[in-house]
Amino acid sequence: MAATRHDVLAVKDYARLAELGITTVREGIAWHRVERRPGRFDASSVIERVRAAEAGGVQVIWDLCHFGWPDDVDPLDDAFPERLAAMGSWFAQLLRDETSSIPWYVPLNEPSFVAWAGGDVEYLNPFRRGQGDPLKRNLVRASIEAASAVRAVDPRARICHVDPIIHVEPRTDSPGSRSAAARYSEAQFEAWDMLAGRQHDELGGSEAELDLIGVNFYDRNQWVDEGPTLDRRDPRFRPLRTMLADVYERYRRPIIVAETGAEDIARAPWLRYVCDEVAAARDIGVAVEGICLYPVVDHPGW
């Protein structure tokens, strides 16, 4: 945020997007900045963007938890869902006071990826191993409670639950290898299944919880099990249209491509591929309602 100065240039940034016909954006609040002390909320890091969007007629899909959490919060703790819900309730009231349009929220971005990266391989906070499954369940519970909290403040609220879509190819043609890859690919649906109450219904999920589904898809989302990333020119690479159709057939809910992008000279060809695939998916009846390019400017890759 500081590098791009979007926090102080939001009005101009939104105007430049509008010149391109882009009037819907994803934005994220930084939880650790709006709640520096437990239960005490400060809107100074987000209020200018809220007001700029309202003044410019920009529809924002607000991520409540995308950039981590306060230092005193443990995402594996039973209190985590309550803390996210409390912050969500505060932010929903802020939007209700400051804006007039129907609010859109992503309660928690990519619970599946965060659970793997933070609970299995020590790549992200909370840097644990062997705790991916309980972390995923707690993140899903937090998503459900946060969604409920914002709806309690504003029943008009729309909710988008976002996770990556992936494809894993087996290392060999052996039954064991094929079965392992299939299980890995199938795991991409676990969080959405929990949100829908199809798995671990004790978390409070229901079919109604899946309002809008957001799928994140990058050029690194397909790979050989314990092997290299698949290039999209590889015949084993699954077309995005097919992956979108899989999600739609499973849940029958509208979809957005909530994040996609590439770096440097790959940006334009990749976006062209994604747009072509989304158009093809729509042609076969898949309800894909939008594409979010991330980021709108170039960036160093992970």
List pLDDT tens digits, range 82-111.
999 999 999 999 999 999 999 999 999 999
Q: What is the 3-state secondary structure (H, E, C) of 119-167?
A: HCCCCCCCCCCCCHHHHHHHHHHHHHHHHHHHHHHCCCCEEEEEEECCE
Would you give the DSSP letter of residue 117? Answer: H
- Is the pTM of the predicted complex or chain greater than 0.95? yes
Residues 241, 49: Cα–Cα separation, whole Å: 34
Helix ranges, 74-131 (H): 80-98, 111-119
Maximal CA-CA distance, the chain: 59
pLDDT at 237: 98
Query: What would the pLDDT profile of 109-126 be if each residue is shown by its tens digit?
Result: 999 999 999 999 999 999
Residues 77, 75: Cα–Cα separation, whole Å: 5
- Please name the helix (run of DSSP H) or strand (run of DSSP E) that holds residue 258, with its range, or none: strand 255-260
Q: Is 246 a member of any domain?
A: yes
Residue type, 78: D
Whether 302 has a pLDDT exceeding 80, the answer reads no
For residues 219 and 228, is the Cβ–Cβ distance under 8 A? no
Residues 5, 215: Cα–Cα separation, whole Å: 27
Whether 255 has a pLDDT exceeding 70, the answer reads yes
pLDDT at 200: 99
For residues 242 and 249, is the Cβ–Cβ distance under 8 A? no
pLDDT at 7: 85
Q: Is 202 a member of any domain?
A: yes
Whether 301 has a pLDDT exceeding 80, the answer reads no
Query: What would the pLDDT profile of 129-169 be if each residue is shown by its tens digit?
Result: 999 999 999 999 999 999 999 999 999 999 999 999 999 99
pLDDT at 58: 96
Instruction: Give the total number of structural domains in the chain.
Output: 1
Torsion angle of the four alpha carbons 68, 70, 72, 78, in this order, in degrees rounded to the nearest 10 = -60
Give the pair of three-digit tokens for residue 188: 């991409």
Residue (of 239, 241, 237, 258) closest to 249 by Cα position? 241
**Rg value, the chain, Cα:** 19
For residues 252 and 263, is the Cβ–Cβ distance under 8 A? no
Domain that holds residue 213: 165-302
Residues 159, 267: Cα–Cα separation, whole Å: 28
Q: Is 289 a member of any domain?
A: yes
Residues 186-211: what's their mean pLDDT?
A: 98
Q: Is 257 a member of any domain?
A: yes
Which residues fall within 8 angstroms of residue 60, CB to CB, at 6 or more apart? 24, 25, 26, 27, 49, 50, 53, 104
Query: What would the pLDDT profile of 70-83 be if each residue is shown by its tens digit?
Result: 999 999 999 999 99
